Structure 1
Amino acid sequence: MTGVEHGLPAIAAMFAAARAKQRAAFLPYFPIGYPSYAESLDAITTLAELGADGFEIGVPFSDPLADGPVIQAATQTALSNGITVRRCLDAVRELRL
């Protein structure tokens, strides 16, 4: 055990910490595989080091109708880079500290 909370307890603790500081939690959205797999992991790691509270990890799929044009383009790039659900799960595993 690392002593690091995961899952719902970690999410609740994150929001509680932000609330205690009377600020909104910062949770950037980042699609895995854009602009490349390695660059997306580097960007997420950098954002975490700069103080992001958490992340919404984007899993690319072939028909992103509900997303706007910027996320659609990022999704297409990620898919062209061979990103799959398995690869996204691998990314989450790699990013856990």
Structure 2
Amino acid sequence: INMDEKHKKKIGDANRGRIPSEETKRKISVGTKKAMANSKLRKKLSILKKGKPSTFKGKHHTEETKEKIRRKLKGRKCSKKHIKNISKGHIGIFSDTFCVT
């Protein structure tokens, strides 16, 4: 359906603040999952996002959110692959501080 910008804005303003029903949320969820299963669509969306800054750019986590993230990650076990990557990244960092004989 082709609509002019004025008409789109009017519809958007009318829907602003409206909370969708559980059934509507379910329908949206099913439709989104179905669409995301299509590799062509996913590729198209990927191309559209490239070259644009992250949606979180310029924003900051609150101290409360940082604390929640910290608590969630604490005590989590790293995979062997992750540990290997970390150790690769640290090669040579301390080479000038230790005496190798």
Q: TM-score, with normalisation over the residues of structure 1?
A: 0.23
Q: TM-score, with normalisation over the residues of structure 2?
A: 0.23
Structure with the largest fraction of strand: 1
Structure with the largest fraction of helix: 2
Larger radius of gyration: 2
Pick 1 or 2: higher relative contact order, CA cutoff 8 A, min separation 6.
1
